[in-house]
Structure 1
Amino acid sequence: MEADIFDYQKEEETVDAEPFMGEKRKLIQPTSLKDPKLEKLKKVLLDWINKTLKPEHIVVQSLEEDLYDGLVLHHLLSRLAGVHLAVDEIALTGSAQIHKLDVILEELDKRLGLQDSSLIKWDVKLIHNKDLLATIHLLVAMVKFFQVDVELPSNVKVEVIVLEVNQNGIKSDMQTEVLTEDSCAASDSSGNPEKDPIEQLLKLETHKVDTVKKAILHFVNQNMASIGLQVADMDQQFADGVILLLLIGQLEGFFIPLSEFNLTPTSNSEMLQNVTLAFNLLNDTDLQLPSIDPQDIVSQDVAATLKVLYAIFKKHKGK
């Protein structure tokens, strides 16, 4: 066992015991690093990140090397949740990177609902130290929470060495770490995997889709009637963000100052600013949206528009 540990450290890099005094550190066994399931999981996560961040012209080549400074996580959070944090776009120094990661992970942990630190398998230090295990745990949690349209390989496990450094030396133990659950365990009580209701709806006959759209449209117009507005075309009239913002204000009972958005947007950037503001307001009211980008709404993506309106409808229909 001890020989394996020291061989591993020589293959990677020498571990300085002092920074980890009194802590536990997990190291993935070299044999597990070559596991085809782990390789597939890493590839799926890489492909997802690069597809999501393609509009920003960000390309990630390595989960171990490219996420430590916070840039990629910052952009992922922005696109998945419409969150724009007050941090430097590019952090060059170690202290600036750690500060940026601290702000990003605090926001992510809050959104993921992880108040109990014992349940969190990543932290600023681990991510900044390019810890692959912690990085994968974080990305998998993001994929699941934001309901990203990505099929993660199921039942991915790795063997890890748990090192505990104390004054007497290094205590080691071998454990199995679960990265993704068995597909059966992720199913609902009926034995069927959870599916996006709108994605399933759009696979049905046109008249069934139209029926649901009419019900949501009726709900929208009921709430917009008091300010004298009527929506006739759901696919197009939400693209500039104006009606979406006014609808949120009506449902949540607050007024959005006209100075905060463009009442008569004429450019794509003005429309995007409106929709982004709407997404931020929805997040502030604890309404979690599926994996939708504000640009999808501006581009009149029917599925994206339906997902947003359905989420709003589901929250407020009984009130």
Structure 2
Amino acid sequence: MSGFLFQKRKGNTSEVNDLQSDGRNALNNPLSSASFDMQLDENEEKVILHPIAKSDPKLQQLQHVLIDWINDVLVDERIIVKCLEDDLYDGQVLQKLLEKLGNHKLNVAEVTQSTVSQRQKLQTVLNSVDQLLKYRQEKIKWNVDLIHSKCLWGILHLLVALVNHFDAPIQLPQDVSVALLVLKKTPAGMTSEPKQEIIVGSNLYVFFFFLSDKAF
């Protein structure tokens, strides 16, 4: 299982039960995203986006705010982002965004088409991000595998970190989390457990998270 810090959303028992019920229904539905391509080995786990996640209004608002911000920053580059997962996975937009924000040219190829070259470029870009942010390793919630596989929560974590570091003139919605499913193949069959991945906490949460990431 990945090293993400999962936290359950605070709420009543019925809310948790609804998530669990939705998770079971997703596994039982062969057309759902939760049951798609789940070729797991025995006792292997896989974390996927919950089928209900993208219907969350706060998550939708966060994505819209981040997309507008990226497009504003890159307006001179004539780059228009419409979907975070589809437009950021190969590192091209992230490269331009980091160069613009940091006023520093990265030593990477401008155009990459093969999967290998995309991942190499993405690794260079993420290395630059990590050096810039100076987060402790256990606090970094993105990597090449997550971004290149179009993992929404990994991309959101990265963008929110950049927004905070560069003190972007935008207002992020508070208390935003992503509903996930942890799938596990057991001798008895596939099991699912709903989890909540916090992307943006309250103002107080963000303040203490920033302090903890800068601590040595």
Fold-level similarity (TM above 0.5) = yes
Matches within 5 A, 1:2-151: 2-7=24-29, 10-11=32-33, 14-17=36-39, 24-116=45-137, 118-151=138-171
Cα distance change of structure 1 residues 185 and 119 upon mapping to structure 2, 3 Å threshold: closer
Which structure has more RCO (C-alpha within 8 Å, separation ≥ 6)? 2
Could you tell me which amino acid in structure 2 is paired with residue 15 of structure 1?
D
Query: Is residue 25–residue 164 contact of structure 1 (8 Å, CA) maintained in 2?
Result: yes
Quote the offset at 1:152 in angstroms.
0.3
**CA RMSD, 1 decimal:** 2.6
Cα distance change of structure 1 residues 103 and 13 upon mapping to structure 2, 3 Å threshold: farther
Query: Is residue 24–residue 165 contact of structure 1 (8 Å, CA) maintained in 2?
Result: yes
Corresponding position of 2:199: 179
Quote the offset at 1:163 in angstroms.
2.7
Please give the alpha-carbon distance, in whole angstroms, between the structure 2 residues aligned to 1:168 and 1:119.
34
TM-score, reference length from structure 2: 0.76
SS of 1:41 mapped into structure 2 = helix
Please give the alpha-carbon distance, in whole angstroms, between the structure 2 residues aligned to 1:80 and 1:149.
12
Query: Is residue 46–residue 61 contact of structure 1 (8 Å, CA) maintained in 2?
Result: yes
Q: Deviations over 1:251-290 (max 9, x none)?
A: xxxxxxxxxxxxxxxxxxxxxxxxxxxxxxxxxxxxxxxx
Cα distance change of structure 1 residues 165 and 120 upon mapping to structure 2, 3 Å threshold: farther
Alignment size in residue pairs: 186
Query: Is residue 8–residue 29 contact of structure 1 (8 Å, CA) maintained in 2?
Result: no
Structure 1: 5+ residue runs without aligned partners?
189-319
Identity value in percent: 34
TM-score, reference length from structure 1: 0.53
Report the structure number with the largest CA radius of gyration.
1
